[in-house]
């Protein structure tokens, strides 16, 4: 028990004794103590305490002649809620679930699974897991060790455990909600009893998740609130107890847009923008390694094209969650029209009764590939379908904010936040199609325009605590963004007198002249010695293709030496090819240089990941 809780408990007992002596109100000294305690409590703890006091007063009125010391206080079981989150969604859902449970008087132990001692599993009675899936069906970084333990032979029998799982994922991935499925199936096979069916949520998860949470709290309430015990005070990780900034994904800050500057050359195949946004007045803070969540508005030209293609009118009234909008408004600000969900393709196939679309729907892999490579307008233009405006609106998903790795450190830019954004653009016939958020940031927003943002903290992409630890940063293309932030941060630390370890950047892109993002800054860091080594790979500057993984391989001995010296290794950028190829190269390096088998090399790298020495921010 925390010292405050001990004091609180003591004080409550005093208050109860006073009650038996016939006094209805607190003495001045007790009031001071109560005030001192309540000012130190989080909103969740305050809510729990008020429930506790109410429960105590009811019990006392019935058992008023029993001295408190002899009262039978039956300890209610604690509900443990574990979350495994890569970018914060699962953490958000778990925190709300914990609040809902504690609001009805359940004693809750909410924990990041990374901080959970697996030995405690066999003594749990009630466990809820909220987890996302990362990589290709992999557990989030924080859950790697727990996942490995639970799925191993070491996991204990859990016949005394009641559990359920809420899984977050994205149905455009092949292994949808895989980590949630893994936990659910394994807990079942270890003998645990499922108290509610697992919920698999897609990207638009909020409503389903809150309904599931409300139901499970209702289910567990009777079992877990028989009576309360002070020892069962809600325990929240410090990160949750600290009053969080008022702006978050649900309540974004409306920031001022300052700058979009093209940083690729005129002849580049890519349009990459350096973006600056002003956070002044928000109180928002971020650490290097965090991402910025950005809400966006769809292009009104695209909205008009879509409405025309559908034969609707822009002013037609439609509803979304009981709110009225014109069709043009809802398609501009509320609904995804650049990303196409597989469900929408299914809807369009049914409404059009088109044979080839219906056949596509029966082939899950082909359906996923098709939805990932066609925007809504492209599906609509493919075949005509019988729908009205409301049905069309109901078939679309709500806009989800996009994340961008932060490319600045507040020690350098203070109230600003910088991003490095590649515009998603491709040709469809004679039309140029663009990504929703990247074109909003890169092209449609003007200086002084408004953009809704929030900070997505990422504790799995952090500079080493010890500034003297060497770092290896692998960030081709926009993957270089967080490393610009790392360098700004290290420069500020250096200015404050910190000794810095070595740093090594691997950067790559298509050509040296057109695509060397932030070239001058890297060269200055090299010159000043802040950056120890820079290796670049420009794939199209010579006949054979050269990528960052080739540069790593060329430097195998030194890379391995740095790792053996304790270096932290970071990969940022493309998840589909680059991160996998770099990982394979690292395996090869550890095999060659460390004299290990491939399996041992995988274990070596997994240990680095669990120890947060190998971190990825890939997308």
Which residues of the chain form contacts with ligand FAD (CB under 6 A)? 87, 291, 338-340, 372-375, 402-405, 420-422, 424, 426, 435-438, 478, 481, 617, 619
Check: CB of residue 468 under 8 Å from CB of residue 532.
no
Q: How many residues sit close enough to ligand FMN to count as binding (CB under 6 A)?
A: 24
111 binds, among ligand FMN, ligand FAD, none (CB under 5 to 8 A by kind): none
375-404 binders of ligand FMN (CB under 6 A): none
If binding is defined by CB under 6 A, does position 134 make contact with ligand FMN? yes
From CA 619, how far away is CA 617, in angstroms rounded? 7
Residues in region 556-615 near ligand FMN by CB under 6 A: 575
Cβ atoms within 10 Å of 282's Cβ, excluding its own: 19
Q: Which of 135, 436, 479, 508 binds ligand FMN (CB under 6 A)?
A: 135
- How far CA 496 is from CA of 54, 139, 467, 485, 492, in Å, comes to 52, 38, 12, 17, 6
Tell me the chain's radius of gyration from C-alpha atoms. Answer: 27
Among 109, 178, 585, 615, binds ligand FMN (CB under 6 A): 178
Nearest approach, Cβ of residue 172 and ligand FAD (Å)? 8
Query: Nearest to ligand FMN by Cβ — which residue?
Result: 169
For the bound state, the minimum distance from the C-beta of residue 228 to ligand FMN, rounded and expressed in Å, comes to 31
CA–CA dist 271, 434 (Å, integer): 12
Q: Should residue 176 be labelled a site residue for ligand FMN when binding is judged by CB under 6 A? A: yes
Q: How far is the CB of 609 from ligand FMN (least distance, A)?
A: 14
> Which of 140/470 has CB closer to ligand FMN?
140
Q: How far is the CB of 52 from ligand FMN (least distance, A)?
A: 31
Residue 274 pairs in a beta bridge with: 261, 420
Residue 133 binds ligand FMN (CB under 6 A): yes
State which residue, 85 or 225, has the beta carbon closest to ligand FMN.
85
How far is the C-alpha of 521 from the C-alpha of 251, rounded, in Å?
35
Look at the block and give the residue holding tokens 């000043």: 528
Q: Which is nearer to ligand FAD, 339 or 410 (by Cβ)?
A: 339
169 interacts with, out of ligand FMN, ligand FAD, none, CB within 5 to 8 A per kind: ligand FMN
CB of 310 to ligand FAD, least distance (A): 18
Of 385 and 422, which CB lies nearer to ligand FAD in the complex structure? Answer: 422
**CB-side neighbour CA atoms (13 Å) of 146:** 26
Pairing of strands 471-474, 568-573: parallel
173 near ligand FMN, rule: CB under 6 A:
yes
What residue ranges in 393-478 does DSSP mark as E strands?
A: 402-405, 416-422, 425-428, 431-434, 450-456, 471-474
User: Which H or E run includes 591?
Assistant: helix 578-594
E-strand ranges in 287-399 read 291-294, 317-320, 323-326
Q: 79 has which bridge partners?
A: 108, 126
Q: List beta partners, residue 615.
A: 570
Cβ–Cβ under 8 Å, residues 552 and 582: yes
| Residue 618 interacts with ligand FMN (CB under 6 A): yes or no | yes
Contacts of ligand FMN in 285-324 (CB under 6 A): none
């Amino acid at each position: 028990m925390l010292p405050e809780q001990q004091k609180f408990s003591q004080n409550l007992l005093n208050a109860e004794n006073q009650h038996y002596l016939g006094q209805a109100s607190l003495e001045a000294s007790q009031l001071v103590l109560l005030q001192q305690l309540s000012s130190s409590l989080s909103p969740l703890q305050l809510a729990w305490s008020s429930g506790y006091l109410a429960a105590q007063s009811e019990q006392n009125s019935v058992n008023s002649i029993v001295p408190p010391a002899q009262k039978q206080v039956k300890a209610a079981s604690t509900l443990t809620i574990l979350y495994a989150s890569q970018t914060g969604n699962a953490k958000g859902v778990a925190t709300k679930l914990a609040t809902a449970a504690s609001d009805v008087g359940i004693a809750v132990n909410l924990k990041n699974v990374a901080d959970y001692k697996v030995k405690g599993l066999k003594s749990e009675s009630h466990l809820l897991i909220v987890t996302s899936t990362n990589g290709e069906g992999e557990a989030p970084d924080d859950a790697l060790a727990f996942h490995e333990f639970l799925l191993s032979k070491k996991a204990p029998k859990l016949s005394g455990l009641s559990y359920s799982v809420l899984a977050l994922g994205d149905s455009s991935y092949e292994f949808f909600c895989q980590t949630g499925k893994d936990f659910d199936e394994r807990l079942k096979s270890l003998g645990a009893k499922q108290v509610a069916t697992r919920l698999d949520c897609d990207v638009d998860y909020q409503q389903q998740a809150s309904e599931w949470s409300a139901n499970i709290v209702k289910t567990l309430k009777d079992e877990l609130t028989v009576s309360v015990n002070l020892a069962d005070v809600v325990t929240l990780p410090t990160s949750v107890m600290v009053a969080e900034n008022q702006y978050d994904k649900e309540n974004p800050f409306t920031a001022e847009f300052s700058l979009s500057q093209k940083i690729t050359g005129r002849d580049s195949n890519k349009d990459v923008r350096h973006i600056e946004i002003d956070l002044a007045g928000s109180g928002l803070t971020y650490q290097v390694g965090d991402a910025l969540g950005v809400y966006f508005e769809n292009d009104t030209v695209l909205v008009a094209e879509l409405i025309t293609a559908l034969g609707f009118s822009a002013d037609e009234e439609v509803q979304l969650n009981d709110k009225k909008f014109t069709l043009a408004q809802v398609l501009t600000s509320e609904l995804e029209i650049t990303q196409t969900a597989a469900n929408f393709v299914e809807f369009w196939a049914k409404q059009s009764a088109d044979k080839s679309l219906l056949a596509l729907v029966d082939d899950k892999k082909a359906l996923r590939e098709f939805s990932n490579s066609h925007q809504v307008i492209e599906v609509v233009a493919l075949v005509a379908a019988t729908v009205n405006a409301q049905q069309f609106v109901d078939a679309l998903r709500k806009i989800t904010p996009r994340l961008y790795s932060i490319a600045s450190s507040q020690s350098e830019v203070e109230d600003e936040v910088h991003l490095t954004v590649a515009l998603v653009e491709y040709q469809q016939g004679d039309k140029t199609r663009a990504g929703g958020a990247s074109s909003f940031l890169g092209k449609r927003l003007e200086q002084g325009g408004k953009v809704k943002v929030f900070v997505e903290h990422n504790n799995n992409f952090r500079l080493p605590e010890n500034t003297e630890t060497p770092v290896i940063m692998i960030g081709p293309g926009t993957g270089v963004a967080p490393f610009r932030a790392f360098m700004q941060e290290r420069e500020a630390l250096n200015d404050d007198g910190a000794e810095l370890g070595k740093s090594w950047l691997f950067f790559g892109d298509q050509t040296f002249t057109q695509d060397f993002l932030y070239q001058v800054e890297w060269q200055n860091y090299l010159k000043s010695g802040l950056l120890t080594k820079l290796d670049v790979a420009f794939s199209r500057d010579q006949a054979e293709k050269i990528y960052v993984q080739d540069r790593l391989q060329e430097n195998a001995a030194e890379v391995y030496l740095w790792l053996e010296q304790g270096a932290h290794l970071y990969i940022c950028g493309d998840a589909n090819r680059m991160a996998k190829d770099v990982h394979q190269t690292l395996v090869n390096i550890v095999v060659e240089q460390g004299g290990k088998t491939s399996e041992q090399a995988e274990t070596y790298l997994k240990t680095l990941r669990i120890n947060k020495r190998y971190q990825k921010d890939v997308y």
